A and B are shown apart, each in its own frame.
Chain A
Amino acid sequence: MTAHFSAENRARAEALVALYPQSRSALVPLCHLAQAQDGWLCAEAMEEIAELCGTTPAEVYGTATFYDMLHTERVGRHVIAICTNIACLLAGAYELVEHAERRLGVRCGQTTEDGEFTLEEAECLAGCDAAPCVQVNHRFVAAGDAASFDALVDELAKGRRRQEVPRHGVLCRIERTVGLPGSEASPRRQARS
């Protein structure tokens, strides 16, 4: 099998596996890592994740497809999720979805031809006091009405929000650096007993 993760990400992957008493537990974090590298979860990544987790690529695929955030098909650089659940519904979320579909020229679940935007109808994102709630790549953004939605799309297309909204797949930009298993500060030897 050829390596799919870069050398740097392979080291990150092995560190993730070491965090858990059983390597299979790292499956979802490793899928996030693959998405951070590639923007989506490709077959080659799933093969390497299976090897790291001591399971089969089919198990990785079967698990990954259970979860909304894991994309086994290509998505855009910006995945825009509009919540339409109860609090957002009451704040006009479907009207916003209709506007977003017109603005981007795609329906929910589709990606623009240039690969910049994927539009999704999301379930409750736990931001109901600012309904309707919109996330781009799982970052909360203020885009609850047509005008601010358009302004957001323009800014994203021009690459002006990269600091705040990294490209799709990059989830947690902060890494655990202290007390890792094997390090001096780790209490793990006792935990594994």
Chain B
Amino acid sequence: MLTSAPRIVTSRLDHEDSYTLERYLATGGYKALHKALRMKPEAVAAEVNRANLLGRGGAGFPAGRKWSMLRAAETTYLVVNGDESEPATFKDHLLIERDPHQIIEGAAIAAYAVGARLAFIFCRGEFALGLERLTAACNEAYEHGALGGRIFGSTFSLDIVVHPGAGAYICGEETALLESLEGKRGFPRIKPPNFPAAIGLYGEPTVVNNVETISALPWIIQNGGDAFAALGAGTSTGTRLFALSGRVARPGWYELEMSKTTFRDLIFDPALGGGIADGGELKAFIPGGVSAPWLGPDSLEIGLDQEAVGRAGSMLGSGSVVVLDQTSCAVRAAWRITRFFWRESCGQCTPCREGGHWLEKILRRIEEGDGRFSDLDLLMDVCDNLAPGVSWPPEQTTICVLGSSIPSSVASALRMFREEFATHIRTEECPFAGAPHEMAGGR
């Protein structure tokens, strides 16, 4: 059901000029930072703990606990992860372009709580407008006294550097992001020992928080962690920004109360997704970015709840939902998602580098009508090498979770639509319209 929960991270997005300091101040901006600076840093952290704010990047780790795991040291860094690149996820892009001051205020609150005096906002390079808005907002924030030395007359000082990425999905993984921020190739680090809280940027303890997570902090400080925790249910508290796309009538972003809203609401409610595009039928949906296993129409009643989606064998991940309808080819969808992982593999680990490549080739030949029946077992065999047992959550054979995410779509498509694969192989062509004759070749 749709609830009357407040919009927490998108509260000022109805204003055309939501990205300006003027609008930010007129809508209560920077009051939370004033308030936080009058509190003890531990009290700020305690408020976030009470909110039970789960990280909004994809892994869903409690933000407060992430802070509490920091190794005590002279220098601590805060890094805001704005490298949003999980396919079909477009919420951080929205927040970066439309409410950059909220990110800066949230970052200042987080930095104050963890004792960081230098913070980086790692913004995906392809967001040219976002980079301009963030940089302009930083300039404004300095002039307003919200950044720099002795913020708002307190003893707290903070510098923020807006750092542009350069096009690499893997840099959304927090240790790859840190490597990239150090000016290197985005190779994920081996954990342990390289948990950022212990050995992060330049070897110092580092907090890496997602843009949406950071954006929720001003509201939490203003209204209290309890008010946030009162929304949602169980461990899935507060609201969350969902990105809906694919074969749906009204694709777009929707900030919804967690847990109480279901996938049926999100996809079919006239005020939200408005049902399937062109009056079609739901075939399947991907509930949390393309790393997540697919769910079918029988899973529509599941709430937008991290644990509930986990129990159903998938994940809420990055909060992006992709809808497939009866016109969508499952083989082509699985192929395109696999092609993405293959292209974006950093190449360090053999199972990911080679496995992704082979899965892509096999799926392509099935889609193009050159598949063999033995390919179906072969696909599962390669998946098993990437994530032994092909279970959920997946076993990991690689340094980071990119590799173990590849089997999700392949195994889902095979499990749910095996007959569709068989039709491709038997008839030696894709039964769906619009099959790309020359699906783009190399990298």
Contacts and interface: CB of A to CB of B under 8 A. Distances in A.
B149 A185 contact: yes
Contacts, number: 215
A86 interface: yes
Interface string B235-250: 0000000011111000
Contacts of A64: 166
B439 interface: yes
B93 A90 contact: no
A69 B148 contact: no
B132 interface: yes
B337 interface: yes
Q: How large is the interface on A (under 10, 10 to 19, 20 to 34, 35 or more residues)?
A: 35 or more
Contacts of B131: 171-172, 174
B166 A67 contact: yes
Interface residues of B, number: 80
Contacts of B139: 174, 176-178
Interface stretch (A2-10, A21-29, A154-162): A21-29
B126 interface: yes
B285 to A, nearest CB: 11
Nearest to B187: A66
Interface string A23-37: 011111101100000
Interface of B: 74-75, 84-90, 92-93, 117-118, 124-129, 131-132, 135-136, 138-139, 142-143, 147-150, 157-159, 161-169, 180-186, 202, 243-247, 251-253, 286, 290, 320, 322, 324, 328, 332-333, 336-337, 340, 343-344, 346, 434, 436-440, 442
Given A129-B90, A171-B128, 15 more contacts: A28-B164, A32-B164, A67-B125, A67-B165, A69-B165, A85-B340, A86-B333, A86-B336, A87-B245, A90-B246, A94-B436, A109-B442, A123-B340, A125-B126, A188-B159
9 shortest interchain CB distances as A-B pairs: A187-B157, A68-B167, A27-B183, A67-B166, A178-B142, A128-B245, A69-B167, A94-B436, A24-B183
Interface of A: 19-22, 24-29, 31-32, 53, 55, 62-64, 66-70, 84-87, 89-90, 92, 94-95, 97-98, 108-109, 121-131, 135, 137-140, 171-179, 181, 184-188, 190-191, 193
